[in-house]
């Protein structure tokens, strides 16, 4: 089969096309014929640095990136029940999805709703699971909560706005002017142009902040939270200084690293099926355009999700 491989970490020129052996599903695994895979910021971070590449995918080279996958079940390993050949699934895999076929744990694979395309489903796993776990699992979001989603136009942010609205929150978000219509269309009640306005001057008394940016923006987020409020950040690391500051202000500060979860994926699939949640795929790349896809995600200016399709 054809795959996009990395023989070493580096720039986009290190992403090369190569024939590799078809993976064989082991116990508990499905072989998935990949129809589409999603691109996340972690893809370029892992691509760029040898130590990070090894930490995520081990020492074996060539390595194959790709965690968000949607496709068709093409093989079933031992000890798997509940799936048949030809089933349409999507999953947060353990990597190796930049290929015509990938093996994925059946335990974390869920059926793709029929109303959702493979391309849309491929945009869901990493970003939507992260948004879900931040708002629901850690933030315990409830109707009437005042919530700030930083970078609402991004992959995580655009799911988070929709989820926060679904749970009945008042949703504020930051975005540049070109993305205001987009974030409003997702349900944002208050849109702050971070290039013009200082968010802590126009928003106060917030119950929950989802920080997708880190640095000084994360620190400034403390100022708008109510005592007892929650700041969930998805950008490591956390400084001791920030932890102390949050504690002094009575704010619950949590660093979330999104985890693969069948239960959470199933909750997301249910919302996708009813249309309460939608993956907005702003650009679709073909299999031979991986360099362009990586350049786009590295620009940090993509809207919603970007996805690569395999014919």
The site for ligand NAP (CB under 6 A) is made up of 40-42, 126-127, 130, 150-151, 153-157, 174-176, 179, 194, 212-213, 234-235, 256-258, 297, 300-303
The DSSP-derived string for 106-117 is GGGEEEPPTTS-
In whole angstroms, give the CA distance from residue 100 to residue 288.
Answer: 12
Smaller CB separation from ligand NAP, 113 or 258: 258
CB closer to ligand NAP, 9 vs 42: 42
CB atoms within 10 A of CB 257: 8
Which is it for the CA torsion 47, 48, 50, 55, positive or negative?
negative
Nearest to ligand NAP of 22, 138 (CB atom): 138
Closest approach, Cβ 128 to ligand NAP, in A, equals 10
Contact 55, 106 (CB under 8 A): no
The CA-based angle 192-197-199, given to 5 degrees, is 60
Q: What is the dihedral of CA 131, 137, 140, 146, to 10 degrees?
A: -20
Q: Which is nearer to ligand NAP, 31 or 206 (CB)?
A: 206
Which is nearer to ligand NAP, 121 or 234 (by Cβ)?
A: 234
Closer residue to ligand NAP, CB minimum distance, 119 or 174: 174
The nearest distance, CB 72 to ligand NAP, in angstroms, is 26
Our CB check for ligand NAP shows the closer of 251 and 296 to be 296
Distance in angstroms (rounded) separating the CA atoms of residues 97 and 284: 16
**Partner residues linked to 254 by β-bridges:** 232
Cα dihedral 105, 108, 112, 117 sign: negative
CB of 297 to ligand NAP, least distance (A): 6
Structure tokens at 224: 């708008």
CB of residue 96 to ligand NAP, shortest distance in Å: 18
Chain residue whose CB lies nearest ligand NAP: 154
> Whole-number minimum distance, CB 234 to ligand NAP, in Å?
4
Q: CB of 115: closest distance to ligand NAP in angstroms?
A: 24
Q: Is 187 exposed, middle or buried (0-12, 13-18, 19+ CB in 10 A)?
A: middle
Q: Considering the complex, what minimum distance in angstroms separates the CB of residue 24 from ligand NAP?
A: 29
């Amino acid at each position: 089969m054809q795959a996009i491989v990395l023989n070493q970490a580096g720039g986009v020129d290190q992403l090369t096309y190569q024939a590799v052996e078809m993976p064989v599903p082991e116990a508990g695994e499905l072989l998935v014929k990949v129809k589409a895979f999603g691109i996340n910021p972690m893809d370029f971070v892992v691509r760029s640095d040898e130590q990070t590449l090894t930490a995520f995918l081990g020492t074996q080279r060539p390595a194959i990136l790709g965690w968000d996958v949607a496709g068709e079940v093409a093989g079933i390993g031992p000890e798997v029940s509940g799936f048949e050949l030809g089933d349409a699934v999507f999953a947060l895999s353990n990597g190796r999805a930049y290929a015509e076929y990938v093996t994925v744990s059946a335990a974390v694979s869920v059926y793709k709703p029929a109303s959702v395309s493979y391309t849309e489903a491929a945009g869901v796993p990493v970003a939507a699971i992260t948004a879900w776990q931040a708002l629901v699992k850690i933030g315990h979001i409830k109707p009437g909560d005042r919530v700030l989603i930083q970078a609402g136009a991004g992959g995580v942010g655009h799911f988070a706005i929709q989820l926060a609205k679904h749970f009945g929150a008042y949703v504020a978000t930051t975005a540049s002017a070109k993305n205001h219509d987009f974030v409003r269309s997702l349900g944002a009640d208050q849109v702050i142009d971070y290039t013009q306005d200082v968010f802590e001057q126009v928003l106060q008394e917030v119950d929950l902040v989802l920080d997708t940016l880190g640095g000084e923006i994360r620190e400034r987020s403390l100022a708008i939270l109510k005592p007892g409020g929650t700041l969930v950040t998805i950008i490591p690391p956390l400084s001791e200084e920030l932890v102390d500051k949050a504690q002094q202000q009575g704010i619950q500060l949590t660093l979330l690293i999104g985890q693969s979860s069948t239960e959470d994926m199933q909750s997301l699939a249910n919302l996708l099926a009813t249309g309460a949640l939608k993956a907005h795929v702003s650009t679709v790349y073909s299999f031979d355009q991986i360099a362009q896809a990586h350049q786009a995600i590295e620009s940090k200016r993509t809207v919603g999700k970007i996805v690569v399709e395999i014919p």
